[in-house]
Structure 1
Amino acid sequence: MRYNFFVNIIRKVAFIILKCIFFIKVEGKENILEGPFIICANHRSYLDPVLIILIFDRRVYFMAKSELFRIWWLAPIIKAFGAFPVKRGKSDIGAIKRAIEVIKSGNILGIFPEGKRNRTKEIILKGEKGVATIIKATGAKVLPVGISGKIVPFGRIKVRIGRPMEFKDNSLDNQEIVDTIMNEIKELILK
């Protein structure tokens, strides 16, 4: 599904503004798939989902922490861009079902498997297993994305889109699937 005309104008203007503030380099756009898939990216700043929304021309439906939907001015904006709430720290069956529905409807799902912003010195955090449940339920391919750089005025930000990953063996352990994805994201960051 594409963004509507109004939202697309906002996306284009926002990207121009961001390019005036940061030096943004995007690599691997040729790896973007046509059908439904899951974008799995690392999460270091509030800018990460914005970058993905601006880079991908098709609508990306993000799982976003439920607390964001309680902010009166932010909730309508993130809903307009396709976000839906997930309760962190426990298994949110409703959010998993919504994510599966997004994929089965032929759309793109965006997930930050770390489950929160990484505020440590580690390159990535350990991934949560929810994404593996969605992969097993839908058979969706995963598009790993590594985001690196400093989020400061005139800082350099690099977004690397990796090659699609497919997990056909449903007997794989959920943590093994997530670890494989997170290792690929780490490699993209370190390139």
Structure 2
Amino acid sequence: MIRPRSVEEPRLNRLFKIAFYYSLQLVCRLACVSLFHLRCLGREHTRVAGPALILSTHQSHLDPILVGVAFNERVNSVARQSLFPIPVLGTVIRWLDAIALDRTRGGLGGLKETMRRLRAGRKVLLFPEGTRTPTGRMLPLKPGFLVLARKCSVPLIPMAIVGAYDALPRGTWVLRPVPIRVVIGPAIEPDELKGLDDAAALELVTNRLAACRQRGQRR
């Protein structure tokens, strides 16, 4: 397990970001419950002490909001570098302490910053499928997150989002008021990955995500 280290930041900036995050979280939580009758199953599994990687299925642009609503504590998301220059959106992303990922450079900067956040004791959200699903079905996982999991030796929290694809499918910005469920599974501890090659580790995580997804589809 990595030992938390402080992330240097002016105190006023840090306090502002915390206040902004929890204010926006409250607004989003109320909106999601009203619009989508949001239900979060397995929230007891969010209570993991210290740093962790949150691994979620990726259905729509709503997903980072839904994950943020499901967790009581702050969650750092990874966002494309191209989103940061966009007026208003870029400002909000910065205030939420998102991690910039520059895919044109292989994402190395985002990888280093994610490791820095984990060493500071943060929880970081990743979408291991790498992109939003075009069909609503789970995509094969990309192995990049395993580098972080093994390097930082942190728990992996699997979760699935069911219904977000129908609420805001890829290629549209028109919201549909359909039910959404977020399902969080038991954390995968670092010891569970020891001795597994990438293929076996990916299978383990895929099965945990699929189990969360199946639970969400049953209710």
Larger Rg: 2
Q: Which residue of 1 aligns with 2:127?
A: 112
2:39 aligns with 25
Q: Post-superposition, which runs of at least 4 consecutive aligned residues in structure 1 deviate over 6 A?
A: none
Q: Give runs of aligned pairs for residues 125-144 of structure 1, distance below 5 A.
A: 125-144=139-158
The structure richer in helix per residue is 2
Moved more, 168-177 or 109-118: 168-177
Q: Which range moves more in the overlay, 172-181 or 9-18?
A: 172-181
Q: Which moved more, 1:135-144 or 1:149-158?
A: 149-158
The separation in 2 between residues aligned to 1:34 and 1:158, in whole angstroms, is 24
CA shift in 2, pair 1:96/1:176, >3 Å:
farther
Question: AA paired with 2:177?
Answer: F
Aligned partners of 1:132 and 1:175 also within 8 Å: no
Q: Which moved more, 1:60-69 or 1:135-144?
A: 60-69
Letter in 2 for 1:118: T
Match of 2:76 among 50, 53, 61: 61
Which shifted more, 149-158 or 81-90? 81-90
| TM-score (normalizing by structure 1) | 0.90
SS at match of 1:70: coil
- 1:37-48 alignment, distance < 5 Å: 37-48=52-63
Deviations 1:139-184 (A, max 9, x none): 0000000100131533110100000002335553234323321221
Unpaired stretches in structure 2, ≥5 consecutive residues: 1-13, 168-174
Q: Distance in 2 between matches of 1:188 and 1:105?
A: 28
Distance 1:170 1:93 in 2: 24
Partners of 2:79 and 2:188 in 1: how far apart?
23
CA deviation after TM superposition for structure 1 residue 89, in Å: 7.2
Inter-partner Cα distance in structure 1 for 2:140 and 2:134: 13
Equivalent residue, structure 1, for 2:190: 167
TM-score normalised to the size of structure 2?
0.79
Q: Secondary structure at the match of 1:127?
A: coil
Q: Which amino acid aligns with 2:70?
A: I
SS of the equivalent of 2:208 reads helix
2:176 aligned to which of 146, 153, 156: 153
Given the superposition, is the C-alpha separation of residues 9 and 47 from structure 1 closer, same or farther in structure 2, using an over 3 Å criterion? same
